[in-house]
Amino acid sequence: VALRGPYLSIRKHKFHKMDLEDLVALETVSPSQAAFLVNAVAERKNLLITGGPSSGKTTLLNALAGKIPPE
């Protein structure tokens, strides 16, 4: 929500996509949180990822998408 006029967010994509192990190594996600999220993805649970601009929502979603089983 932009209360005082337009809000613009410019994304600069990285060449290296982070996986969940990278996020654990950076201490962005704890090992127990990562295990919970991997289990939720494996069990096809619904997840709601929220946060402000540049908080890592897309990075986390891309990392979780890498955990989707091929079948």
- Is 17 or 14 the better-scoring residue by pLDDT? 17
Q: Is the pLDDT of residue 1 over 90?
A: no
pTM > 0.85: no
Neighbours of 24 (CB within 10 A): 17
Band of pLDDT at residue 36, cut at 50, 70 and 90: very high
What local confidence, expressed as pLDDT, does residue 54 receive? 82
SS3 33: helix
